[in-house]
């Protein structure tokens, strides 16, 4: 979809202009354009039946429109809104080339799939092989296969933390420390997540007879993937991200100050 693909790059351009010339209206326009992209994403996720990401996209949509509204209606806390715009610029500039340019996205997917397959064969030599780059992993013992997609690279979480860390005003030493306790940990934990999900699916952990006493039914093969991916892996990933966020806020209290500052702006009533 051509319109959807160009919207984030228009938003990036508007964010750059807004930060260069300190123009609140231009920054607000960038947030509105980004909200337009979120509309497309929300619709696509809903049609595909991925309701968790539909909720995420709706939240980003609402947040983008709300920041745009505050930019044009609140004259105070200009530094706060431009800091948020700077974080959005860094995050978008790092994410959308991979999301919208096939060569870059496929390269990242292929790297992640290769590392995942290597880890699987490390634990169980000869258990999997790759074919049809960039993304398919096949089992040598069953007929099952798994496609690695962009979401399997953890790129969303990585760029979000990178944007937050780079966007706040703090000493470089603490920024580097916050980066090291977040981005590498996210990527490694995501590889382990991929290994867990694929192993659970290929070996049918949740469709095997030993689970029948608990589930009172023998699940079909796809259900084993769904339980591992949609329930256990997503829950585990959320817990890990919460722990990482706590560590980043401890190292960079400026990031927490930014959130608290936005909360104060939202909660403060106008003087009449």
Q: How do residues 210-244 score in pLDDT, each as one tens digit?
A: 555 555 555 566 788 888 998 999 999 999 999 99
* Predicted confidence (pLDDT) at residue 207 exceeds the cutoff of 80: no
pLDDT digits (tens, 9 = 90+) for 238-264: 999 999 999 999 999 999 999 898 888
Cα R_g (the chain), whole angstroms: 21
Q: Say if residue 89 is in the same domain as residue 130.
A: no
42, two tokens:
């929300």
Last residue of a domain, one of 45, 75, 100: 100
Q: Are residues 196 and 269 in the same domain?
A: yes
**More confident site: 161 or 49:** 161
Question: Of 100, 127, 150, which one is at a domain's C-terminal end?
Answer: 100
**Angle formed by the axes of helices 2-21 and 78-100, nearest 10°:** 150
Count Cβ atoms below 10 Å from residue 8 Cβ, excluding itself.
Answer: 22
Of 100, 128, 148, the domain-final residue? 100
Tell me which of 87-91, 157-161, 200-204 is least confident.
200-204
pLDDT of residue 206: 80
- pLDDT, tens digit (0-9, with 9 covering 90-100), for 32-79: 999 999 999 999 999 988 888 899 899 999 999 999 999 988 777 788
Sheet bearing 128-131, strands edge to edge: 128-131, 136-139, 145-147
94 shares its domain with 129: no
- In the numeric block, which tokens belong to residue 38? 């979120």
> Model's pTM, two decimal places?
0.90
d(CA 86, CA 259): 14
Number of folded domains in the chain?
2
**Do 124 and 215 belong together in one domain?**
yes
Place of tokens 């530094």: 79
Question: Taking residues 156-175, what's their average pLDDT?
Answer: 95
Decide: residue 217, CB within 10 A, 0-12 exposed, 13-18 middle, 19+ buried: exposed
109 and 139 in a single domain? The answer is yes
In this structure, the answer to whether residues 34 and 126 fall within a common structural domain is no
Do 80 and 148 have their domain in common? no
Is the same domain home to 48 and 178?
no
* Host domain of residue 70: 1-100
| Neighbour tally for 177: CB within 10 Å | 16
Query: pLDDT digits over 104-119, tens only?
Result: 999 999 999 999 999 9
Q: Do residue 72 and residue 136 come from a single domain?
A: no
**Looking at the structure, do residues 66 and 124 belong to the same domain, yes or no?**
no
Find how far residue 53's CA is from the centre of its chain.
10
Helix (H, G, I), strand (E, B) or coil at 145: strand
Kindly state whether residues 194 and 254 are assigned to the same domain.
yes
What rounded mean pLDDT belongs to the chain? Answer: 89
Co-location of 149 and 34 in the same domain: no
Res 50: pLDDT: 83
């Amino acid at each position: 979809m051509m319109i959807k693909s160009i919207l984030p790059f228009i938003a990036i351009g508007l964010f750059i202009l807004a930060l260069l010339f300190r123009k609140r209206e231009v920054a607000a326009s960038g947030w509105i354009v980004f909200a337009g992209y979120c509309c497309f994403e929300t619709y696509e996720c809903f049609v595909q039946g991925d309701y968790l990401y539909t909720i995420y996209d709706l939240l980003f949509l609402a947040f983008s429109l709300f920041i745009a509204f505050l930019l044009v209606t609140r004259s105070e806390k200009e530094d706060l809104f431009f800091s948020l715009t700077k974080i959005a610029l860094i995050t978008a500039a790092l994410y959308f080339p991979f999301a919208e340019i096939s060569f870059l996205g496929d390269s990242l997917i292929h790297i992640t799939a290769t590392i995942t397959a290597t880890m699987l064969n490390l634990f169980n030599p000869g258990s999997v092989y790759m074919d049809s780059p960039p993304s398919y992993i096949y089992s040598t013992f069953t007929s099952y296969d798994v496609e690695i997609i962009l979401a399997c690279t953890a790129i969303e979480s990585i760029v979000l933390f990178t944007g937050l860390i780079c966007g706040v005003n703090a000493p470089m030493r603490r920024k580097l420390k916050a980066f090291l306790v977040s981005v590498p940990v996210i990527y490694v934990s995501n590889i382990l997540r991929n290994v867990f999900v694929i192993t659970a699916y290929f070996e049918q952990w949740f469709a095997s007879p030993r689970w029948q006493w608990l589930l009172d039914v023998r699940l079909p093969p796809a259900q084993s993937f769904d339980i591992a991916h949609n329930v256990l892996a997503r829950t585990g990933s959320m817990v890990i991200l919460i722990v990482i966020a706590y560590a980043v806020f401890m190292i960079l209290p400026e990031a927490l100050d930014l959130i608290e500052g936005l909360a104060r702006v939202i909660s403060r009533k106008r003087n009449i």
